[in-house]
């Protein structure tokens, strides 16, 4: 069975077996823990995982990122706003708060319409258009790829 060894440990004999690490990872999942720290023979092993909950206020937020250029207008006159990056889509700033936008909401150019978490950074996605949200194409906490449609908006002329 493979064992994990600490390369920078001064103490010989640090030997954490993979099956034990997997047990701790399962325990973290079962108890919904985001971190676990183990010490053995003076060496520390830290396990971390993403939380399934919405982002908290303590997480750094990058400057608002404009959505990817909207794809061509669909036959019904709406425009698709696509994801500018790979990440996790969040419809609201926190789990117990209202969504940034809902179907039927009027938005203006520059309004924050969602957050995409990428590499532990929360990126506010803004609307490039004035208009009305006609469809939300993804679910909260869904993983999205670059160019994945996030919203459909009926563009309003100024």
DSSP string, 124-140: EEE-SS-EEEEEE-S-T
What CATH number is attached to the domain comprising 146? 2.40.50.100
**Overall number of domains in the chain:** 2
pLDDT of residue 148: 93
53 domain-assigned = no
Q: Which region among 6-10, 123-127, 129-133, 136-140 has the lowest average model confidence (pLDDT)?
A: 6-10
Is 117 in contact with 141 (CB distance < 8 Å)? no
Sheet architecture: strand order including 131-136: 78-82, 149-155, 131-136, 106-107
Q: Which residue has the higher pLDDT, 3 or 77?
A: 77
- For residue range 32-58, what is the model confidence (pLDDT) as tens digits? 777 777 776 666 677 777 655 544 444
111 domain-assigned = yes
Residues 43, 80, single domain; the answer is: no
Whether residue 78 is predicted with pLDDT greater than 90 in this model: the reply is no
Whether residue 59 is predicted with pLDDT greater than 60 in this model: the reply is no
Reported residue count of the chain is 158
Give the separation between CA 38 and CA 57, rounded to whole angstroms.
28
Whether residue 136 is predicted with pLDDT greater than 80 in this model: the reply is yes
Residue 31's domain comprises 3-48
Structure tokens at 67: 């959505």
Structure pTM? 0.53
Residues 34, 97, single domain; the answer is: no
Closest CA to 114 of 153, 134, 140: 140
Residues 71, 139, single domain; the answer is: yes
pLDDT of residue 32: 74
H helices present in 75-126, as ranges: none
Residues 24, 86, single domain; the answer is: no
pLDDT of residue 75: 55
Residues 84, 105, single domain; the answer is: yes
Residues 41, 66, single domain; the answer is: no
Residues 40, 9, single domain; the answer is: yes
pLDDT of residue 42: 63
Contacts of 47 (CB under 8 A, 6+ apart): 21, 24, 25, 28, 35, 36, 37, 38
54 domain-assigned = no
Residues 90, 150, single domain; the answer is: yes
56 domain-assigned = no
91 domain-assigned = yes
55 domain-assigned = no
Give the separation between CA 65 and CA 47, rounded to whole angstroms.
31
pLDDT of residue 116: 94
Is 148 in contact with 114 (CB distance < 8 Å)? no
107 domain-assigned = yes
Residues 120, 147, single domain; the answer is: yes
- Mean pLDDT for the chain overall: 75
pLDDT of residue 71: 46
- For residue range 86-135, what is the model confidence (pLDDT) as tens digits? 999 999 998 889 999 999 999 999 999 999 998 888 999 999 889 999 99
Residues 87, 28, single domain; the answer is: no
Whether residue 76 is predicted with pLDDT greater than 90 in this model: the reply is no
């Amino acid at each position: 069975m493979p064992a994990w060894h600490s390369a920078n440990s001064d103490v010989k004999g640090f030997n954490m077996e993979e099956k034990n690490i997997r047990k701790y990872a399962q325990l973290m999942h079962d108890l919904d823990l985001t971190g676990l720290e183990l010490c053995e023979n003076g060496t520390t092993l830290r396990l971390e995982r993403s939380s399934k909950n919405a982002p908290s206020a303590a997480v750094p937020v990058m400057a608002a990122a404009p959505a990817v250029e909207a794809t061509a207008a669909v036959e019904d006159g709406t425009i698709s706003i696509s994801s500018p990056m790979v990440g996790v889509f969040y419809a609201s700033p926190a789990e117990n708060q209202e969504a940034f936008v809902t179907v039927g909401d009027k938005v203006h150019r520059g309004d924050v319409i969602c957050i995409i978490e990428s590499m532990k950074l929360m990126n506010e996605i803004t609307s490039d258009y004035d208009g009305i949200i006609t469809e939300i194409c993804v679910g909260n906490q869904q993983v999205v790829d670059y160019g994945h449609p996030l919203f459909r908006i009926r563009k309003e002329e100024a």
